[in-house]
């Protein structure tokens, strides 16, 4: 696995908190700019109208007589001879010569709005009256102030964005810290609360970890099944293979009479069947270890048990198998091949090792549990062996030769897989009773049991 080098901090992407602050500043800047432009247009039109109206009022000299007499009020008045242009009188600074009408003029670097009107006295005068343009809101001199206010507003917005983003991203930081601790002092991600995005991400990561854990368990089970298969096969096949090699050496080296030769060949055949049975049973045990919850299917119990009875009677003509089932037996959720194998093994065990001639296969449902009972009239099994024969490679004292010792172990494995048990006891028919219980709906959180 290639590990990517960690980038220096200054080359890494900006944090979410920084991005929120920048976005807040950009949004504030856009709003301030739009508001300033709109306000400037409105104020420009309004200020020009207000200046002209004020000029009209001052020209009338009736509404603001104190402003005409006090240059400090920002009103300049200059009278010129209409013919020669000579200044006849002035109040405040002198206004430049202007034609009749309204103009903008600069006096000592200050912008004035000037109205020039003709006056019919002293041979005719042109009187100019001006007021400062900066007496209204929109003025070039105030533009730096407006810019400063806008910059301060943007900085305040960025600061607020930074502060408010802190609590918002805290759950994400918590989720990052929890993720870093995985495999060290934590096996799963604790639930994160705060913002919906963080909660959704936490749930998604938890689901992903669950899937990874399930895949890891499946891989571990597969490896364990393979190891068990190899170990058990090596242990249990050593004896029959050794016997087969000895028999083959005998046939190869010695020129045996026909009757002895037939006996050695029969021994080889029995050993071969035992090897085949052991390998088959070990494979079935390994398959049980690899059972996955998603492979479960709906099993029709009535149909399955009827088929078990019919097929086993065809294989053993002198055995009578009676089937007694409840009408409401219904279905259950499980592994069809595994459950069928378990019931088959119980019936075959009664025929092969118990030498039974009559078997009663019954089943009933009680709540969420289905009980399958196999009674036989065979030779039974000593009570002290009822538990021990359920282990791997364990055979009863009256078992027929050639078995693998895995038949009842397979039944016990399938019982555990289906959330149930297997119990052996004395049968009222005189032989052995095997009681297999299984759950009709195993828990969805089911995990494969350990080695049976």
Q: Within the chain, which residues score under 70 in pLDDT? A: 1-17, 40-48, 50-51, 54-55, 58-74, 121-123, 135-143, 146, 168-169, 175, 178, 181-195, 197-198, 221-240, 274, 277-292, 315-316, 393, 401-405, 441-452
Please state the domain extents for the chain: 13-180, 188-290, 293-439
- What pLDDT sits at residue 115? 86
**DSSP string over 211-274:** HHHHHHHHHHHHHHHHHHHHHHHHHHHHHHHHHHHHHHHHHHH----HHHHHHHHHHHHHHHHH
Task: Give the up-direction half-sphere exposure of residue 112: CA atoms within 13 A in the CB hemisphere.
Answer: 26
Options 2.20.25, 2.40.128, 3.30.450, 1.10.287; CATH of 188-290 = 1.10.287
Tell me if the pTM is above 0.75.
no
- What pLDDT sits at residue 43? 63
Helix, strand, or coil (residue 41): helix
Adjacent-strand bridge partners of 186: 182
pLDDT tens column, 150-171: 778 778 877 777 777 777 667 7
H/E stretch holding 21:
helix 16-60
- What pLDDT sits at residue 63? 38
What percentage of the chain carries pLDDT values higher than 90? Answer: 9
DSSP state of 381: -
pLDDT tens column, 110-134: 888 888 888 876 567 888 888 887 7
**Given this chain, do its domains 188-290 and 293-439 carry the same CATH topology?**
no
- What pLDDT sits at residue 452? 43
Pairwise CA distance, residues 387 & 127, whole Å: 128
Burial of 298 (0-12, 13-18, 19+ CB in 10 A): exposed
The third-level CATH classification (topology) of the domain covering 293-439 is Heat Shock Protein 90 (3.30.565)
- What pLDDT sits at residue 71? 47
Q: Burial letters for 317-356: b for 16+ Cβ neighbours within 10 Å, e otherwise? A: eebebeeebeeebebbbbbebbbbbbbbbbbbbbbbbbeb
């Amino acid at each position: 696995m290639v590990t990517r080098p960690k980038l220096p901090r200054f080359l890494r992407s900006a944090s979410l908190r920084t991005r929120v602050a920048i976005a807040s500043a950009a949004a504030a800047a856009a709003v301030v700019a739009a508001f300033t432009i709109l306000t400037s247009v409105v104020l420009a039109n309004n200020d020009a109208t207000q200046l002209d109206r004020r000029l009209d009022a001052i020209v009338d000299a009736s509404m603001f007589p104190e402003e005409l007499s006090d240059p400090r009020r920002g009103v300049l008045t200059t009278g010129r001879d209409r013919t020669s242009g000579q200044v006849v009188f002035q109040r405040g600074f002198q206004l430049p010569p202007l034609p009749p009408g309204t103009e903008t003029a600069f006096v000592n670097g200050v912008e004035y709005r000037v109205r020039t009107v003709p006056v019919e006295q002293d041979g005719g005068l042109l009187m100019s009256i001006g007021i400062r343009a900066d007496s209204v809101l929109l003025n070039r001199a105030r533009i730096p102030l407006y810019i400063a206010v806008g910059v301060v507003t943007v900085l305040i917005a960025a600061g607020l964005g930074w502060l408010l983003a802190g609590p918002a991203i805290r759950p994400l930081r918590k989720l990052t810290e929890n993720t870093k601790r995985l495999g060290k002092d934590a096996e799963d991600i604790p639930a994160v609360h705060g913002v919906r995005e963080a909660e959704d991400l936490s749930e998604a990561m938890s689901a992903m970890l669950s899937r990874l854990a399930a895949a890891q368990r499946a891989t571990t089970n597969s490896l364990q099944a393979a190891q068990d298969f190899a170990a058990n096969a090596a242990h249990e096949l050593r004896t029959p293979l050794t016997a087969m090699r000895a028999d083959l050496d005998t046939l190869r080296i010695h020129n045996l009479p026909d009757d002895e030769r037939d006996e050695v060949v029969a021994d080889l055949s029995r050993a071969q069947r035992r090897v085949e049975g052991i390998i088959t049973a070990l494979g079935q045990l390994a398959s049980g270890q690899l059972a996955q919850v998603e492979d479960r299917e709906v099993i029709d119990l009535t149909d399955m048990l009827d088929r078990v009875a019919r097929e086993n009677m065809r294989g053993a003509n002198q055995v009578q198998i009676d089937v007694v089932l409840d009408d409401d037996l219904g279905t259950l959720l499980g592994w069809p091949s595994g459950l069928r194998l378990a019931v088959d093994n119980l019936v075959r065990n009664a025929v092969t090792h118990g030498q039974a001639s009559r078997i009663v296969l019954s089943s009933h449902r009680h709540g969420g549990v289905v009980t399958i009972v196999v009674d036989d009239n065979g030779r039974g099994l000593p009570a002290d062996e009822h538990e021990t024969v359920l282990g791997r490679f364990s055979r009863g004292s009256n078992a027929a030769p050639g078995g693998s010792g895995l038949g009842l172990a397979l039944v016990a494995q399938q019982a555990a897989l289906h959330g149930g048990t297997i119990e052996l006891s004395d049968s009222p028919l005189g032989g052995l009773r095997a009681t297999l219980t299984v759950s009709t709906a195993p828990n969805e959180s089911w995990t494969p049991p350990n080695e049976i």
